[in-house]
Structure 1
Amino acid sequence: MSVEIWPALPPEQLQPAIDQTQQLELSWLLSELHSTLHSLKSGLEDCYALLAPVDPGSTLVVSTPRNEVVKGHITRIGTRIVKGTLTLRLRTHPQQTYTISPTAPISIAPLTTLNALLTHSIELVTLTLTYATPPPSPSRASKSSSSSNRPSSPAHSTATFLAAQLLLLSQSLTEALSLLKGPQPLTASDATWVSKSCAPDHFVPSTNRDLSIHWGVQDSSLVLWLRALEPADAPVSVGLKFALAIGTARRIEHDEADQLFVYTYPENTEAGTSNAGSNSGSSNNNNNNHSSSTNAEDKKNGKQHSGGAGNAAKGLQNSSRNKEDHRANEVQVYVREKVRVESADPSLLSLSAKLGALNYTLELARANLAAVMGESFDG
């Protein structure tokens, strides 16, 4: 089956008619895209409102199903956990109840990145609506196309600009959806826990240095990972070796039981801070004594001390000291016990659904624009 124009046009008039038709279609599609962009902006603003730091926030239950290993609740406002209580009954640690300190809220890294992506997406749509000139009317388009064998360049320039902007917006929405989807499979977490675990000062009382508490996002839900750590070079008693050999004692089985991790103790832990603190204290005392004696000698000799070289030296000392402290806080560990707790968040579930719908609308608009411009669309 074929589509023919009737009455048939002579060959010298066929190409101008095709160009005129394409110009009319492109002008109509650009007008429709402006309304689509306005709806996208409105939808993105609704998504941003779901993640905005507005009281009273979302109160979520944090409890393990069918047992009482973890029981508690948290309150999320925006991208941070501002308050909550967790009671832990781990097999490798004594029972303890921790309260999130109101002066040190916990920032959830995926939500912080997601908030930045939503802000960037709204700014991108606003910029697109500002600089994308309104398309010409069909009457003007027909007149201009009748005098030329090619579509008008302003409409094509606008279409090219919109295609590039929609591509950037699609990349932002795809990354935002991947953050809400989280690491896969569900039993695994990304490797950020080895360096991004919660610091002890987030809790009252402070957590044990051998306990890693890490928050993340999976399937639009907040997920808590608890890991009981054991240094790789920790000595094993003869009694434990014998009990493991005869089977009276068994190590807790989980997916990270036999893996060796390079764990970085968070700041304010006991690991590596006492020596670093004493060394830094002694070095500071030596620097103070040296500077005081130098200043006294300069005053005695009537000299002016510029301090430029001294500031540079202090900067090098501080940077090298920070590197030494970072290396001192790194240690190879095994995960003796691992617990995963998932808390469904209605706001994040709604946010994921809205972003999915917006992304579908955006991909459809990109496909239509590519078809009218005669370009390939990979999605």
Structure 2
Amino acid sequence: MTAHHVEAARDSSKSGILLLTRTSSPPRLPIALPTLSRRKSPSQDGNGPDRFSAAAMSLVPDLWPPISDSELQRSKAETLKRELVWITDETIKACRELKHGLDDCYALLAPIDPGSTLVMSTPRNEKVKGTMTRVGSRLVKGSLNLQLRTTPAFTIYVAPASPIHVHALDDLHTHLSQSIDLLSLTLARDPPHDPPSVASTLALISDSLAESMTLLKGPPLNRPDASWQTSSCPPHHFSPPLPANFSFHIGLQESCIVLVLRTLEPVNAPVHLGTKLGLAIGTVRRIEHDEMDLVFRYHPSGDGTAEPKRGGSRRGLDSAESAASNGAQDVYVREKVRVESADPSLISLQSKLGYLNNMLCQTRRNLATVMAVADVDS
């Protein structure tokens, strides 16, 4: 027999409620005990025996031994405080896992030789045929044999001394670096951790991951992308330099490196008489594409996105300066060729970022829920 025990007896002559008789001092912690409430059955006419209906019985929680309201509120506050400390510790554990995953993502984008060799060739024809090598966020090598209908066949090479920086990959590298730095600062703090501070840090990282996934996904295909007008690669990135009427634009689409080549024609360029006659009688046909007969404002020198970064605001300044000083001209697009090459490292990077983003969203929801219950401002 223990020090605390309870004897139970059932009063069979009345309501059948469980009666408790305390034979010793009560336990320290209050115990919630179910009690039965009695209601008459709907079928009972008032004259028959007093019977219970199975559906009319309910469980009502009660505390034993009874405690005062002030003590109950104090116990609730202490419980919420312990819950907040626990969820904050669990969030810090998730941050360690998140940092480990972001380190793996950073390694996939790190400038490590020999890099990724990408096949850049058009399917079912040989308009474009060649390869390019990506190391980190740069295209360091490449040779493309072009056989377009509007220009003589020629081969272009990426100049080794002037690699091409992919603007989207540069921004992606920046977002990953900032997220890892924020996590390192958070994990370096001594416990206990401040829940609002942790929540603010996770919000910044969540925005950074969302932007990173948007960069890998690329612009929507159902809307025209006008970035080529200002961010095409300048001629000095190639050996020999590109012709003046040629646009070489690099971008990202669903974790693929996308190359778009355009041959251009100034709007005010004179049209040869033979071309006019050929167009009139049908012997000469224009190449049909989604940008034909549209006038574009083209900046041959670019906006600096293909160059190495020299400061946080460089691109914005270059974009504004280039609009006025780089010899922009109105042009038609005579021919357009689009080539894309899947990059295994970028595909793996997108998959990892998707998983980490889902984990981060769940962690933020858990922390926000407990903070809201505990009435802690985020």
TM-score by length of 1: 0.74
Pair 1:18–1:3, CA change in 2 (3 A) = farther
Q: How does 1:156-195 map to 2 (within 5 A)?
A: 158-185=194-221, 190-195=225-230
Aligned length: 300
Q: Which of 361, 367, 370 is the matching residue for 1:369?
A: 367
Q: Find the counterpart in structure 1 of residue 15 from structure 2.
A: none
Q: Structure 2 vs 1, CA of residues 324 and 10 (structure 1 numbering), >3 Å: closer, same or farther?
A: closer
Alpha-carbon shift at residue 236 of structure 1 (Å): 1.8
AA aligned opposite 1:128: T
Q: 2-side partners of 1:91 and 1:181: how far apart?
A: 31
1:31 Cα deviation from its structure 2 partner: 0.9
Which residue of 230, 238, 253 corresponds with 1:218? 253
Structure 2 partner of 1:236: 271
Tell me, in whole angstroms, the C-alpha distance in 2 between the residues paired with 1:192 and 1:343.
Answer: 20
Alignment match, 2:95? 37
Specify which of 123, 133, 149 is matched with residue 91 of structure 1.
149
SS in 1 for 2:270: coil
Change (3 A) 1:217 1:5: farther
Q: In the alignment, which of 64, 69, 72 is matched to residue 14 of structure 1?
A: 72
Q: What residue in structure 1 maps to residue 162 of structure 2?
A: 104
Q: Give 1:27 shift.
A: 1.1
Q: Find out whether 1:340 has 2:332 as its counterpart.
A: no
Bigger CA radius of gyration: 2
Higher-helix-fraction structure = 1
Structure 1's 90 and 2: CA in aligned 2 closer, same or farther, altered over 3 A?
Answer: farther
Between the aligned partners of 1:189 and 1:323, the Cα distance in structure 2 is 24
What's the offset of the Cα at 1:324? Answer: 9.6
Residue 94 of structure 1, CA deviation:
0.8
Distance in 1 between residues matched to 2:59 and 2:362, nearest whole Å:
26
CA distance change for structure 1 residues 5 and 177 in 2, over 3 Å: closer, same or farther?
farther
Query: Greater share of strand residues, 1 or 2?
Result: 2
Q: What is the CA–CA distance in structure 1 between the aligned matches of 2:344 and 2:322, rounded to whole Å?
A: 44
The residue number in structure 2 matching 1:286 is none
Q: Deviations over 1:313-366 (max 9, x none)?
A: xxxxxxxxx969944611011111111101100000011111111111111011
One-letter amino acid of the structure 2 residue matched with residue 170 of structure 1: S
- Aligned-partner Cα distance in 2 for 1:238–1:5: 99
Cα drift, residue 104 of structure 1: 1.3
Q: Which runs of structure 2 are paired with 1:302-317 in the superposition (5 Å)?
A: none
Aligned partner (choices 114, 127, 149) of residue 69 of structure 1: 127
The alpha-carbon distance between structure 1 residues 2 and 35, as it changes in their structure 2 partners (threshold 3 A), is farther
Q: How far 1:97 moved relative to its partner?
A: 1.1
Q: Following the alignment from structure 1 to structure 2, what is the Cα–Cα distance between the partners of residues 117 and 17?
A: 44
> For residues 355 and 30 of structure 1, what CA distance do their matches in structure 2 show?
23
Measure, in 1, the Cα distance between the counterparts of 2:282 and 2:301: 36
Mapped to 2, the partners of 1:260 and 1:84 lie a distance apart of 31
1:124-150 Cα deviation digits (max 9, x unpaired): 11112223x423xxxxxxxxxxxxxxx
State the SS of the aligned residue for 1:364.
Answer: helix
Aligned twin of 2:24? none
Q: 1:240, CA displacement in angstroms?
A: 2.0
Distance 2:88 2:322 in 1: 58
User: CA separation in 1, counterparts of 2:59 and 2:230?
Assistant: 64
Return closer, same or farther for 1:180/1:323 CA change in 2, 3 Å cut-off.
closer
Q: Is 1:356 aligned with 2:354?
A: yes
Measure how far apart 1:2 and its partner are. Answer: 9.4
User: Quick check: 1:134 aligned with 2:191?
Assistant: yes
1:60 partnered with 2:118: yes
CA distance 1:328–1:29, shift in 2 (3 Å): closer
Separation of aligned partners in 1, 2:60 and 2:330 = 71
Q: Partner amino acid for 1:184?
A: P
Q: How large is the RMSD of aligned CA atoms in angstroms? A: 2.5
Q: 1:10 to 1:197 in 2, by over 3 A?
A: same
Q: 1:257 aligns with which of 292, 295, 312?
A: 292
Provide the identity percentage: 49
8 Å contact 2:247–2:264 — kept in the other structure? yes
For the residue of structure 2 that corresponds to 1:332, the secondary structure is: strand
1:11: Cα distance to partner? 3.2
* DSSP-derived class of the 1:374 partner: helix
Shift of 1:17: 2.5
Q: Secondary structure at the match of 2:141?
A: strand
2 CA distance for matches of 1:120 and 1:204? 36
Structure 2 residue aligned with 1:25 = 83
Structure 2 runs not aligned, ≥5 long: 1-57, 303-319
- Superposition deviation, residue 192 in structure 1: 2.3
Question: 2-side partners of 1:2 and 1:113: how far apart?
Answer: 60
2: CA distance, partners of 1:95 / 1:162? 59
Aligned to 2:172: 114
Structure 1 residue 34 displacement after superposition: 1.1
* Aligned pairs for 1:262-301 within 5 A: 262-266=297-301
Structure 1, residues 169-207: CA drift from partner, whole Å, max 9, x if none?
Answer: 10111111110011111x766322112211222222221
TM superposition score normalised by structure 2: 0.74
Preserved CA contact (<8 Å) 2:300 2:326? no
Alpha carbons 2:301, 2:326 under 8 Å: kept: no
Deviating 4+ runs (over 6 angstroms): 322-325
User: Which residue of structure 2 lines up, in the alignment, with residue 142 of structure 1?
Assistant: none
Within 2, Cα distance between the matches of 1:251 and 1:105? 34
